[in-house]
Structure 1
């Protein structure tokens, strides 16, 4: 069970526990934040070290771009090797169905920042591993049937991770400043996780996790607009679909504890009149789909998504 430090893998951990599955929490690299999350799960742990070629940093100094690193694909290959070496029968990621949605369309082609987290990649790699590595090695994502909002609803049931988890990618920078308190509060990941948790987590608990109210800060409007695909495309980050963000904001606008916050009120006054009727509501986005690669022994976990 790969642990990334965020909400998704921790939801998978709790689902496997409830299902009575033996699992080992594994992470690649040397992040103290991920190590703390893995320890909090109570599962056996295994840490795999990884080093970047120093030449990459020299190329950057000479002007080379970093580009996008498909870290899920890289870690999938690393964990496939580990599964064979240490005699595991399954590699279980925590990639939800929202990851298959394109970030934007360019020149008639879908462009997906999260492609290596998506369903197409999962199917291709799972088939390749069965054919070329081990016929009985399962590679799957436990959360594939559900949306990001369904994941946050499940995460809301477990407060034990509130003080250790973070989905803010700035925690994992190799160079440059990192957040002092796990959440920078400025990036697309912080914006989306705050918005996606808000319909399911009591407001005082959510503000305690983040240390501030991101939806009552007018300066954050452009970031939330991008999440809703309002006057901007979805950010090139691992965030949910635009319709999920719109549905979450609409749900908050109907709740007394949220509707007077600056960006929720702005959604009602400015955004909603321009985007018209929403293309999905909260209830429809929470329903699981039948599209997944779970082996029969794990398929019963889908019942927990209902």
Structure 2
């Protein structure tokens, strides 16, 4: 019998408890609203059974609790009650501060779209001492590299390969598109399964709040747990510096769709893992020093993934994916990837990858206007900054093979005259930034690779 869910009647969200079974590799994360039924999520790590010494077991437990708390955002958002309780254990100030930032900022787009103000409303209870600092647990030199099937993670994978870093290509969920792309790398792979509590979908049908969540934060916590269980000292994501900039909404301010891909989250999460979970566990984004255009330039130098990768988010859904095409050709991600690659890739190759020339279709003009923040705000998608889109379009406007295409020609006649030419150069945006968390031993081998 289904449970009736009334979001307005909910007063409390509870973190009921969590556990990890080394014999099966299954983590169970339990939640509830008020005194209602438990919502149980499972995360399954392949390779069981596992055995840990005392120090590793303690670090695994800390990582498990962190995952329990971060993944709870998927359920909390259904009603966003003011009262948050943690039943099975206590947390200290540092943990509460991290979680309050993840929930507030990570639910920024969700709050905007649902007309909610979450400022001052999300308060995690403090009930434990901080304890001593974390200790090294003897992790081997190895990287779990997150792959999403798009160009960014493939650039990271190939850069690490060139630098001689041992790695396992890792992803969460059952996407066959991602699996095919991961297998194309020829490297070891790790597929982690995450099963949301089925009641959540019923709650959504009954009017629960729904919307975007900080999924990268959740996947980061999953891979941190996996690194400790599977013995790897690095968790590597592929979030470029553009991820730190959101959409500027008139009357609201900045709302960042990809906040948990940004530098602020990376710094906070990495520091927490090192100080509170395991001193020898590193978390970082390999592409943090790069702009989206710099990533596109790197990807254009690789052709082995042309028929395998997809950055189209319409292909990836919790309830399944669209296997008929890797590119829809009409979403902001398709728009931006096409535009970002165009200055660095021969036109026939790029059109062959996406199946058509998006820049010669007048119907795509509004989508490209939004990317350039021309009479619209940046889309709520993982796309580059408006200045990158404008610079890429300006570069194409000067090239004979592109300048007469419908979207480019319109940019050349209507938008370009309004812009300052000094802000449209691509070259300054290709210089690696000094702000990143990449370990020195890795960065010393990659800096010249990215700067070339």
Q: TM-score, normalised by structure 1?
A: 0.97
Q: Which one is further off, 236-245 or 276-285?
A: 276-285
SS of residue paired to 1:38: helix
Q: Which has the larger radius of gyration?
A: 2
**Structure 1 counterpart of 2:396:** 252
Is 1:178 matched up with 2:322? Answer: yes
Q: Matches of residues 134-153 of structure 1 in structure 2 within 5 Å?
A: 134-153=278-297
Shift of 1:59: 1.9
Match of 1:47 among 191, 194, 197: 191
SS of residue paired to 1:24: strand
Preserved contact between residue 394 and residue 424 of structure 2 (Cα < 8 Å): no
Deviations 1:147-206 (A, max 9, x none): 000000000011100111000011112348736211000100000000000001110000
Deviations 1:211-237 (A, max 9, x none): 000000000100000000000000000
Shift of 1:65: 3.7
User: Residues of 2 paired with 1:273 and 1:215: CA distance?
Assistant: 19
**Structure 1 counterpart of 2:449:** 304
**Structure 1 counterpart of 2:161:** 17
Preserved contact between residue 240 and residue 290 of structure 2 (Cα < 8 Å): yes
Gaps of 5+ in 1: none
**Structure 1 counterpart of 2:384:** 240
Shift of 1:131: 1.1
Match of 1:164 among 295, 308, 311: 308
Shift of 1:109: 4.3
Distance verdict in 2 for CA 1:190–1:286, change over 3 Å: same
Match of 1:286 among 420, 430, 437: 430
Shift of 1:280: 4.1
Shift of 1:61: 1.3
Question: Hey, which of these two has a bigger chunk of helix by percent?
Answer: 1
User: Residues of 2 paired with 1:179 and 1:45: CA distance?
Assistant: 21
Preserved contact between residue 145 and residue 302 of structure 1 (Cα < 8 Å): no
Shift of 1:108: 6.5
Is 1:27 matched up with 2:151? Answer: no
Deviations 1:77-132 (A, max 9, x none): 00000000011000011000010112215656432111100001000000000111
Instruction: Give the number of equivalent residue pairs.
Output: 306
Deviations 1:265-284 (A, max 9, x none): 00001111234446341001
SS of residue paired to 2:436: coil
**Structure 2 counterpart of 1:198:** 342
Preserved contact between residue 230 and residue 275 of structure 1 (Cα < 8 Å): no
SS of residue paired to 2:195: coil
Shift of 1:289: 0.7
Higher relative contact order (CA 8 A, sep 6+): 1
User: Residues of 2 paired with 1:216 and 1:8: CA distance?
Assistant: 25
Deviations 1:39-79 (A, max 9, x none): 01111111100112212211221233421121100000000
Preserved contact between residue 26 and residue 48 of structure 1 (Cα < 8 Å): yes
**Structure 2 counterpart of 1:231:** 375
User: Residues of 2 paired with 1:60 and 1:135: CA distance?
Assistant: 40
Distance verdict in 2 for CA 1:185–1:179, change over 3 Å: farther
**Structure 2 counterpart of 1:262:** 406
**Which structure 1 residue ranges, 4+ long, deviate > 6 Å from structure 2?**
none
Gaps of 5+ in 2: 1-144
Match of 1:220 among 352, 364, 376: 364
User: Residues of 2 paired with 1:108 and 1:68: CA distance?
Assistant: 17
Is 1:128 matched up with 2:128? Answer: no
Shift of 1:299: 1.1
